[in-house]
C-alpha cells in the first residue's frame, strides 16, 4: 500500500471549484446549443427535401463514427483557419461539444418525433394549424416529453465526456485536479478526488432521471 | 400421486390461494376449471415448485415440494408440464427441443435422446417436422411438440396449464386428440382447462375454483349434471352457452 | 491563414528517425486494434455474466450487478484510465506495486485494455439484462419444469435467445469500443490518436494527419459493423423474428 496524504484536498478546493464551474458551463452551453441545433438537424433529416435530409444525415453519421477525442483535436486545429485567429482551448471546447452533441441530440429528437403517432399530425392539420404550428405546438412538446429521460441521460454522458478536453489542455475540473496534483506532488490523491466528484454528481443525476422516468410513466 | 393439502399463497397482501386441498390418484385425469383470476394456474404451478407457496403442503409421488431440502430439478424432471403459450425454445429445432433435457438432466446419450424424440414425434404425428424450428410450425403443431417434449422425460404425471386457450379454434381438436389418447393410456394428468367436452370425456373429477378457493371437487358426471354451488352453475352456464 | 498541403508527408521520414509517418500511423492502428479487441473480449465475457446476474430472481446478485454497472457508468472513461494506471498500483502490496510500476511488460496496453473492457462490460451487462427481460417469463418456467437447473436454464435457454436479441445494440457497443480506445492516448498507449497528435506536432501537417486517422477509424467501425452483421446472419433462427416481434 502506498502512503496517501489526503490533506492536499483542502488547498485544492478553490482550483477544483473553478474547474468544475468551467465543466458545468461547457456542459450547459453544449446541451442547450446541442438541443437547439440537434432539433433543427432532426427536422432537416425528416424533411421531404432530399438534399437537406441527406446533408443532415451525413453530418450526424460523421460525428457519430469518429472518436470524440479526434473531433476535439480536429476543431482545435481547424477553427483558427476559419476564424482567422487562434482561439483558446476553452472556446474551442465549447464550439466542439455543441457541434458534436447536436448530432446525438438530433438522433434522440428524431426518434422522439417519430414516436408521436401520425394521427396527431392529421388532427392538428384538421384543426387548421399550419405545418410549423403543428410541429411547434403539437409534435415537439410530445416528442420532448417522450424523450426527456433519454435527453437527460445523454446530458450525463456529455458531462462525463467534457473531461476529454484534457486532450487540448482546456482547464476543466480534471485539468485543475491534474495541475494541483503536480504542484503538490500528490497526483494520486487528486485523481481520486476528481473520480469521487464525478461519481457523486453523475450518480445523483442518474437517480433523479430514474425518478423522473417513473413520474412520467405514471402521468401517461 | 399428487396430494395438495391446505395450500395458501399470498402476493403481498392479496391472497391468491386459500386453503386449497385436492388430490390426483395414479392414472387419474383431473380437470381444474374456473373463471380467469381464480388461481388455477397458480395452483398448478405450485405442484412442480415453479411458484413458491406460503402455507400447506404438496407431495408428488411421495416427495414434498415445499421442503427446502427437496431437489426441485430432480422432481421437475419427473413431472411433465405443458404451457398455455407452448414455450418451445425458439432457438432450437424441434428435435433439439426434445433432446435438451433428456441429455442435460437425465444424462441420456445423444442417440438415445434422438431415438426417443423421433418415437414421440411419431406418436403426436409430427415426425416429418423434426428439423424445423418452432417458429415454422402452427400453434397446434407447437403444442403437440411441447407435449412430446414433456413425454420424452418419461414423467410419472403431466400438468397442463390451459394448453388450448392460446390456440385458434381449428387447432384445438388436434391437441385435445393427443391429450385424450394420453389419458386412455393411463397417464396421470392434472389439467387446467375450459374444454368441458374433454373433461366430460376423460376426467375422473372436476375441480372448480373461484377467488383462490376450491369451491367444488366432484366426480365429472356429477359436476356437469348437478353442480352443487351457485358459482359453478353460473360459470358452466356462461361457458357452455357460448 | 494559409495552409500548405503536402500529401506526400506520409512517406517522409520522421524527424530524427528512420521510420516514415505512415509507419507511425500503422503502428497506431495496430495498438488501436489490440486494445479494442482485447477490451471487447473482456467486456463480452464479464458483461454477459453480470447481465445474467442482474436478471436473477434473487436480490443479492441483482444488487451486486447494479453496483458494478453504476460504478463504471458514472465515472468518465478518461478518469477511469488514470485510476487504473496511477491509483490502482498504490493499493497493491508493496512488492507487487513496485513490479507493476517498474517491470510490468506492456503496462500501458494491459491497463488500457482492462480499463476499457471493464467500462464496456457495464454497458454490455445493461443490454444483456434488457434482452433477458424481454423474453417471456414462460421460457424460464418451461426450462425449469423440464428439470434443468437455473445455471443450465441460463446456459441453454435464456442466454442463447437473449444474446440474439441484443446483437444490434451490441454492434454499436463494439463500434464504440474502437472509438473509446482513443482515450488510451492519455496513459501513453501508442494507438492511433496518440500517433496522430505526435505526427501533427512533428510534421505540422495536421489536416492530412487527421484526415488519414479519421479514415482509419472509419474503416475500423465499418469492419466491426460488418463482423457483427455476419454473426447476426449466422445465428439467425428461422421463424424467430416473428416471435420476438
Q: Which of C70, B225, B147 is nearest to A198 (CA)?
A: C70
Residue whose C-alpha is closest to residue C146's, from B179, B46, B104, B32: B104
Residue B49 has phi, psi (to 5 degrees) of 75, 15
Does residue B240 have a pLDDT over 80? no
* Residue B204: all three cell numbers together: 375422473
CATH fold for the domain made of B2-240:
Rossmann fold (3.40.50)
Cross-chain residue pair A199–C185, CB shorter than 8 Å: no
B62 touches chain C (CB under 8 A): no
Do residue C146 and residue B105 have CB atoms under 8 angstroms apart?
A: yes
* Contact status of B52 with chain C (Cβ, < 8 Å): no
Whether pLDDT at A217 is above 80: no
Mean pLDDT in residue range B85-101? 94
Report pLDDT for C91.
Answer: 87
Three cell numbers written together for B193: 382447462
pLDDT of residue A220: 55
- The per-residue pLDDT for C240 is 67
C183 to chain A: closest CA residue: A69
* Helix residue ranges per DSSP H, chain B: 40-47, 72-78, 94-104, 110-123, 139-151, 169-184, 196-202, 220-225, 230-240
Q: C180 to chain A nearest CA, in Å?
A: 7
C171 found inside a domain: yes
Q: Which residues of C touch A (CB under 8 A)?
A: 1, 3, 70-71, 73-80, 82-83, 86-87, 89-94, 97, 175, 178-183, 185-186, 193, 196-197, 200, 206-207, 210, 213-214, 217-218, 221
- Does C240 sit within 8 Å of B136, measured CB to CB? no
**Of residues C148, C157, C238, nearest to B135 (C-beta):** C238
Interface contact C217-A65, CB threshold 8 A = yes
- The answer to whether position C1 is within a domain reads no
Distance from CA of C152 to the nearest CA of B (A): 8
Whole-number pLDDT of residue C242: 40
Phi, psi for residue B32 in degrees, rounded to 5: -105, 125
Indicate yes or no: CB of B91 within 8 angstroms of CB of C160.
yes
Q: Is residue C136 part of a domain?
A: yes
Is C243 close to B100, i.e. CB distance below 8 A?
A: no
**C159 falls within a domain:** yes
B-chain CB neighbours of C143 within 8 Å are 89
Q: CB-side exposure of C5: number of CA atoms within 13 Å?
A: 2
Torsion of CA B34, B37, B41, B46, to 10 degrees: -120
Distance CA(A62)–CA(C221), nearest Å, equals 11
Average pLDDT across chain B, whole number: 93
* ipTM computed for the complex: 0.91
Chains adjacent to C (≥3 CB pairs closer than 8 angstroms): A, B
pLDDT tens, residue by residue, A132-156: 899 998 999 989 888 999 999 999 9
Note whether B7 and B20 are within 8 A (CB): yes
Query: Tens of pLDDT along B180-213?
Result: 999 999 999 999 999 999 999 999 999 999 999 9
Give me the pLDDT at residue A131, please. 86
The pLDDT assigned to C183 comes to: 97
- pLDDT digits over B48-81, tens only? 999 999 899 999 999 999 898 999 999 999 999 9
Does C2 map to a domain?
no
Residues A107, A118: Cα–Cα separation, whole Å = 19
Contact between chains at A65 and C79 (C-beta distance less than 8 A): no
Q: Which three cell numbers stand for residue B120?
A: 414421440
C-chain residues within 8 Å CB-CB of B149?
A: 146
Nearest CA in chain C to B89: C157
- Domain containing C23: what range? 7-244
Looking at the complex, does the CB of residue A180 fall below 8 Å from at least one CB of chain C?
no
Cell of C53: 446476474
Q: Answer whether B147 touches C (CB < 8 Å).
A: no
Give the best residue of C25, C75, C98, C175 to mutate against chain A (max A CB count within 10 A).
Answer: C75
Residue numbers of B between 66 and 105 with CB closer than 8 Å to C: 72-81, 83-85, 87-91, 100-101, 104-105
Residues in C touching B73 (Cβ below 8 Å):
144, 147-149
Mutate to test the interface with A, among C78, C81, C179 (most CBs of A within 10 A): C78
Partners of residue C183 in chain A, C-beta under 8 Å: 67, 69, 164
Q: N- to C-terminal Cα distance for chain A?
A: 53
Nearest to A67 among C78, C89, C217 (CB): C217
DSSP letter for A114, please: H
Identity of the residue in B79, B104, B137 whose CB atom sits nearest the CB atom of C148: B104
**Nearest by CB to C141, which of B73, B87, B150?**
B87
Q: Are C27 and C191 in contact (CB under 8 A)?
A: no
Taking the CA of residue C150 and the nearest CA in chain A, the distance in Å comes to 30
Domains and CATH numbers, chain A: 7-219 (1.10.3720.10)
Q: Name C111's bridge partners.
A: none
pLDDT at C245: 34
- For the entire predicted model, the pTM comes to 0.87
A194 touching C (Cβ < 8 Å): yes
Domain with residue C132: its CATH number is: 1.10.3720.10
Instruction: State the Rg of chain B over Cα.
Output: 18
Q: Residue B169 contacts by C-beta under 8 Å, 6 or more apart in sequence?
A: none
Region of B107 please: left (phi>0), alpha (psi -120 to 50) or beta.
Answer: left
pLDDT for the residue B176: 95
pLDDT in tens, chain C (245 residues): 578 888 888 888 888 888 899 999 999 999 999 999 999 999 999 999 999 999 988 899 999 999 999 999 999 999 999 999 999 998 888 888 888 888 888 899 999 999 999 999 999 999 999 999 999 989 999 999 999 999 999 999 999 999 999 999 999 999 999 999 999 999 999 999 999 999 998 888 899 999 999 999 999 999 999 998 899 899 988 876 544 43
A66 Cβ under 8 Å from any chain C Cβ: yes
Please tell me which chains touch A, using 3 or more CB pairs under 8 Å as the contact test: C
Q: Which of A153, A141, A154 is nearest to A112 (CA)?
A: A141
CB pair distance less than 8 Å for A4 and C90: yes
Question: Nearest-CA distance from B89 to chain C in Å?
Answer: 7
Q: Parse chain B into domains and list their residue ranges.
A: 2-240
Nearest to B91 among C145, C148, C164 (CB): C164
Q: Chain B residue with minimal CA distance to C158? A: B89
Residue bearing the bigger pLDDT, C236 or A103:
A103
Nine cell digits for residue C21 = 509517418
| Mean pLDDT, rounded, of chain A | 91
Q: Of C131, C134, C135, C147, which to mutate for an interface test with B (greatest number of B Cβ within 10 Å)?
A: C147
Total number of domains constituting chain C: 1
Amino acid at each position: 500500500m502506498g502512503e496517501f496524504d489526503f490533506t492536499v484536498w483542502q488547498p485544492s478546493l478553490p482550483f477544483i471549484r473553478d474547474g468544475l464551474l468551467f465543466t458545468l458551463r461547457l456542459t450547459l452551453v453544449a446541451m442547450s446549443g446541442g438541443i437547439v441545433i440537434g432539433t433543427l438537424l432532426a427536422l432537416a433529416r425528416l424533411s421531404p427535401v432530399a438534399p437537406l435530409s441527406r446533408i443532415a444525415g451525413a453530418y450526424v453519421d460523421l460525428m457519430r463514427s469518429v472518436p470524440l477525442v479526434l473531433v476535439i483535436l480536429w476543431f482545435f486545429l481547424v477553427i483558427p483557419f476559419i476564424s482567422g485567429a487562434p482561439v483558446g482551448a476553452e472556446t474551442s471546447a465549447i464550439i466542439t461539444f455543441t457541434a458534436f452533441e447536436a448530432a446525438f441530440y438530433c438522433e434522440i429528437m428524431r426518434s422522439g418525433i417519430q414516436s408521436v403517432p401520425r394521427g396527431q399530425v392529421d388532427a392538428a392539420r384538421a384543426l387548421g394549424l399550419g405545418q410549423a404550428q403543428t410541429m411547434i405546438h403539437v409534435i415537439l412538446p410530445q416528442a420532448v416529453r417522450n424523450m426527456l429521460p433519454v435527453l437527460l441521460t445523454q446530458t450525463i454522458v456529455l458531462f462525463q465526456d467534457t473531461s476529454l478536453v484534457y486532450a487540448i489542455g482546456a482547464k476543466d475540473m480534471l485539468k485543475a485536479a491534474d495541475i494541483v496534483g503536480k504542484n503538490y506532488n500528490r497526483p494520486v490523491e487528486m485523481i481520486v478526488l476528481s473520480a469521487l466528484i464525478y461519481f457523486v454528481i453523475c450518480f445523483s443525476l442518474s437517480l433523479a432521471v430514474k425518478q423522473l422516468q417513473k413520474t412520467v410513466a405514471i402521468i401517461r | 400421486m399428487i396430494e395438495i393439502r391446505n395450500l395458501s399463497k399470498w402476493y403481498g397482501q392479496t391472497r391468491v390461494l386459500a386453503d386449497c386441498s385436492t388430490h390426483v390418484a395414479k392414472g387419474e385425469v383431473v380437470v381444474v376449471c374456473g373463471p380467469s383470476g381464480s388461481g388455477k394456474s397458480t395452483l398448478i404451478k405450485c405442484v412442480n415448485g415453479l411458484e413458491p407457496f406460503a402455507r400447506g403442503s404438496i407431495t408428488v409421488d411421495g416427495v414434498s415440494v415445499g421442503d427446502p431440502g427437496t431437489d426441485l430439478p430432480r422432481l421437475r424432471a419427473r413431472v411433465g408440464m405443458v404451457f398455455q403459450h407452448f414455450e418451445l425454445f425458439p432457438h432450437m429445432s424441434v428435435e433439439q427441443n426434445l433432446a435438451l433435457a433428456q441429455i442435460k438432466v437425465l444424462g441420456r446419450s445423444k442417440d438415445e435422446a434422438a431415438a426417443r424424440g423421433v418415437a414421440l414425434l411419431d406418436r403426436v404425428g409430427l415426425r416429418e417436422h423434426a428439423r424445423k424450428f418452432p417458429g415454422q410450425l402452427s400453434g397446434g403443431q407447437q403444442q403437440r411438440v411441447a407435449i412430446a417434449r414433456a413425454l420424452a422425460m418419461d414423467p410419472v404425471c403431466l400438468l397442463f396449464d390451459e394448453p388450448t386457450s392460446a390456440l385458434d379454434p381449428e387447432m384445438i381438436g388436434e391437441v385435445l386428440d393427443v391429450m385424450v389418447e394420453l389419458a386412455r393410456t393411463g397417464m396421470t394428468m392434472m389439467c387446467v382447462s375450459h374444454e368441458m367436452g374433454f373433461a366430460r370425456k376423460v376426467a375422473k373429477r372436476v375441480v372448480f375454483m373461484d377467488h383462490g378457493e376450491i369451491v367444488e371437487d366432484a366426480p365429472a358426471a356429477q359436476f356437469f349434471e348437478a353442480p352443487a354451488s351457485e358459482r359453478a352453475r353460473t360459470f358452466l352456464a356462461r361457458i357452455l352457452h357460448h | 491563414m494559409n495552409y500548405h498541403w503536402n500529401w506526400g508527408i506520409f512517406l517522409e521520414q520522421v524527424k530524427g528517425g528512420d521510420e516514415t509517418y505512415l509507419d507511425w500511423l500503422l503502428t497506431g492502428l495496430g495498438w488501436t486494434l489490440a486494445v479494442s479487441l482485447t477490451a471487447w473480449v473482456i467486456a463480452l465475457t464479464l458483461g454477459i455474466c453480470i447481465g445474467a446476474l442482474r436478471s436473477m430472481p434473487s436480490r443479492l446478485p441483482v444488487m451486486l450487478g447494479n453496483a458494478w454497472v453504476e460504478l463504471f457508468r458514472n465515472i468518465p472513461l478518461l478518469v477511469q484510465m488514470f485510476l487504473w494506471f496511477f491509483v490502482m498500483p498504490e493499493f497493491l502490496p508493496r512488492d507487487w506495486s513496485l513490479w507493476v510500476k517498474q517491470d510490468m511488460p506492456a503496462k500501458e496496453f494491459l491497463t488500457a485494455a482492462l480499463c476499457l473492457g471493464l467500462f464496456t462490460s457495464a454497458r454490455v451487462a445493461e443490454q444483456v439484462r434488457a434482452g433477458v427481460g424481454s423474453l417471456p417469463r414462460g421460457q424460464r418456467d418451461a426450462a425449469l419444469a423440464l428439470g434443468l437447473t437455473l445455471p443450465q436454464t441460463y446456459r441453454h435457454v435464456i442466454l442463447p435467445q437473449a444474446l440474439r436479441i441484443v446483437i444490434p445494440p451490441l454492434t454499436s457497443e463494439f463500434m464504440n469500443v474502437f472509438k473509446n480506445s482513443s482515450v488510451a492516448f492519455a496513459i501513453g498507449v501508442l494507438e492511433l490518436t496518440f500517433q496522430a497528435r505526435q505526427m501533427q506536432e512533428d510534421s505540422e501537417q495536421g489536416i492530412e494527419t487527421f484526415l488519414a486517422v479519421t479514415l482509419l477509424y472509419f474503416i475500423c467501425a465499418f469492419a466491426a459493423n460488418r463482423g457483427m452483421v455476419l454473426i447476426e446472419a449466422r445465428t439467425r433462427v428461422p421463424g424467430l423474428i416473428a416471435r420476438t416481434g
